[in-house]
Amino acid sequence: MKKVVVLFSLLFLFPAGQLHAFCFEEAGSIYNVSPRLLWAIARVESGFRPGALNRNADGSYDYGLMQINSSWARVVGKELWSSLGDPCTNVKVGAWILSDCIRKHGYTWEAVGAYNASQKHKRARYARKVYTALRK
């Protein structure tokens, strides 16, 4: 009951945009990635729509602010996967995935592109979209 009261209070203390901003800051801090970069990725991926759901040609789907692909379901586990509807959880999982891309490719645009695509030419196109979003 205490958790419900605290969460309900947060909804009135912080407008939705500020609450989400906190999520980007927190996720960035936890996974050592730029909160602004996470914000730009969310802008490109979902247009900041927490409930965004997109089906892919390969049968997988992407969910939430950070458009977490269903291929991650087994990796993150059932409990965490079922929590992706929560915007903050979705951003944290996205930050974790991005941090893994950075670990593999360095803190580069290649890593940003790898967040979304496995093919090199698609990575470059995606990274340009994120770069454009960062500049806005």
CA dist., res. 40 & res. 35, Å (int)? 9
Flag whether 55 is in a domain: yes
- Whether pLDDT at 3 is above 90: no
User: Is there a domain that residue 102 lies in?
Assistant: yes
HEC per residue, 44-105: HHHCCCCCCEEECCCCCEEECCCCEEHHHHHHHCHHHHCCCCCHHHHHHHHHHHHHHHHHHH
Q: Is the pLDDT of residue 75 over 90?
A: yes
**What percentage of the chain carries pLDDT values higher than 70?**
85
**What is the CATH classification number for the domain harbouring 130?**
1.10.530.10
Q: How many domains does the chain have?
A: 1
Which residue is associated with the tokens 């927490």?
50
Tokens of 79: 């409990």
In-domain check, residue 7: no
With respect to residue 9, please indicate whether it lies within any of the assigned structural domains: no
Write down the pLDDT at residue 13: 40
User: Rounded CA gap, 26 and 39, in Å?
Assistant: 12
pLDDT for position 7:
38
Residue 15: the pLDDT is: 44
On whether residue 96 sits in a domain, the answer given is yes
38-59 tens-digit pLDDT: 999 999 999 999 999 999 999 9
The pLDDT of residue 21: 80
- Domain that includes residue 64, residue range: 14-135
Residue 105 included in any domain: yes
- Give the helix/strand (H/E) hosting 29: helix 16-31
35 in a structural domain:
yes
Model confidence band, residue 136 (pLDDT cutoffs 50, 70, 90):
confident
Distances (CA, A) of 105 to 6, 9, 28, 59: 40, 41, 18, 27
CA distances from 93 to 2, 9, 36, 60 (A): 26, 25, 16, 17
Confidence of residue 12 (pLDDT cuts 50, 70, 90): very low
Does any domain span residue 28?
yes
